[in-house]
Amino acid sequence: MFAKKAGANFEDRFQKYCYHAQNVSAIRIEDGCKRIGANRFIAQRQPFDWIVFYEDKAIFCDTKTTLEGSYSLNMEKIDFQMRNFKIVVSHNHVAGYLVEFREAGEFRWYSYERLIEILKERKSLKKEDGLLLGHTFPMKIDFGLIFV
């Protein structure tokens, strides 16, 4: 339960940051559901959490948060997301995970291509394997580093 609250808190802070940051806008892809009867619904998976616009570029990303120095991947969910990231990348856009490492106070980026490399070795994202984009307090994320 704590992980869900931490994730929701991160997403709220991230949305506010994107709203106020210069040259950044974001669209949240809300969780959805499908009606299967008069009063019955089932949850629908979303391909990613956000479309972030940085200057004239689009970044399709899923946000994660962890207190540890690594983030364990849910393989059922990541297979679905990786298929969608592949489509995004095939259209010359950027896709991947933005992970908040709370204890270190850092944001790290794992591109689709980097995720493929990591998944060949293990089922978790280590902090040092990601590209440092910024820090949590005060919140500052340099999306431009993704395109360098």
**Residue 110 structure tokens:** 């794992």
Element (H, E) at 133: strand 131-135
pLDDT band at 51 (very low <50, low <70, confident <90, very high): very high
Distances from the Cα of 62 to the Cα of 36, 46, 121, angstroms? 27, 10, 21
Q: Which residues of 61-88 are buried (b: 16+ CB within 10 A; e: fewer)?
A: bbbbbbeeeebebeeeebeebbebbeeb
The CB-side HSE value for 134 (13 A sphere, CA atoms) comes to 14
139 confidence band (pLDDT: 50, 70, 90): very high
Is the separation of the CB atoms in 50 and 85 below 8 Å? no
State the average pLDDT for the chain: 92
54-105 per-position pLDDT tens digit: 999 999 999 999 999 999 988 878 899 999 999 999 999 999 999 999 999 9
Compute how many other C-beta atoms are within 10 angstroms of the C-beta atom of residue 120: 7
